[in-house]
Structure 1
Amino acid sequence: MVDIIIVLIVVVLLGFALKGTFKHMKGESPCCGGGGGSIVLDIPDKKLDNPVLGKKVLKISGMHCEHCAKAVTEAINKIDGASAKVKLSENEAVVSYDRELDEEQLKRIVKDVGYRVVSIK
């Protein structure tokens, strides 16, 4: 009898965990403290000091909501000479730069906030 109760408790807990995971992946949960999938955050554009030399497109995995996009944007914008615009629907960040950027530094910055750079073009 005790075994049946334990199994039922585990099944119920697993059900809640799966429900939360599915909501998170569909952007319906308060991902990263966001409060909902329909929130659009105001992320100010970073102005570069010098003329833009070029752009790099970073494909990023792991972003699920506007708060994820904001975290990536703010992290990249901390780099001198770099300005990011994150497109959540494309899972990418377009990084404009006014001086040469180290691609390994870009990958490390994105990884430090919890995401992974899949490719850089």
Structure 2
Amino acid sequence: MNAQTLLIVVILIIVLIPAITSTWKHMKGEGDCCGGPKEKPVKKKIDGPKLREITVHIEGMHCQNCKNRIEKHLDELDGVVAKVNLNKKTAVVSIYQVMDDSVIRDVIEGLDFTVVSMESK
């Protein structure tokens, strides 16, 4: 093996190690697949009676960061507490004030996820 070939092999190894590590993290649901820093939702509680609960089926979630983004942005709405299940690809949204379902849909789809269906309980 000549020096040029050895250099190329070393460069390829240096480039591939971070790519393989990132792919492995992504497959375990730990990567930042949707870009930006990891978002941590703040646990939100609301006093008062829950008016209703909606189960939202969502496509496009791949990692913990996706889950956190959806929870964080839904929880920013007044009168809403959300709990997202990444494995089931659902969000259970508890609503404590009068609100149209389209508001929930708009927040999720505004984050580039797809709302497949919404079921009121």
Match of 2:78 in 1: 80
1:69-108 deviation per Cα after TM superposition (whole angstroms, max 9, x unaligned) = 1110011111111100011111010001111221111111
Equivalent residue letter for 1:27? G
Say yes or no: does 1:59 pair with 2:57.
yes
Report 1:34-113 matches (<5 A).
43-113=41-111
Aligned residues: 98
Match of 1:32 among 10, 31, 34: 34
Question: Matched residue of 2:83: which SS?
Answer: strand
**1:115 equivalent in structure 2:** 113
Q: CA RMSD in A?
A: 2.8
Change (3 A) 1:29 1:78: closer
1:58–1:93 contact (8 Å) kept in structure 2: yes
Which structure has more helix as a fraction of its residues? 1
Q: TM-score, normalised by structure 2?
A: 0.67
Q: CA 1:111–1:25 in 2, change beyond 3 Å: closer, same or farther? A: farther
**Radius of gyration: which is bigger?**
2
Partner Cα separation in structure 2 for residue 96 and residue 48 of structure 1: 10
CA–CA separation in structure 2 for the residues paired with 1:28 and 1:51: 35
Contact 1:61 1:115 in 2 (8 A): yes
| Whole-angstrom distance in 2 between the partners of 1:25 and 1:103 | 32
1:105/1:117 CA distance change after superposition, 3 Å: same
User: How far apart are residue 49 of structure 1 and its match?
Assistant: 3.7
Q: Residue 48 of structure 1 contacts residue 97 of structure 1 at CA under 8 Å; is this kept in 2? A: no
Residue identity (%): 35
Which residues of structure 1 form unaligned runs of 5+?
Answer: 1-15
Q: Which runs of 5+ in 2 are unaligned?
A: 1-15
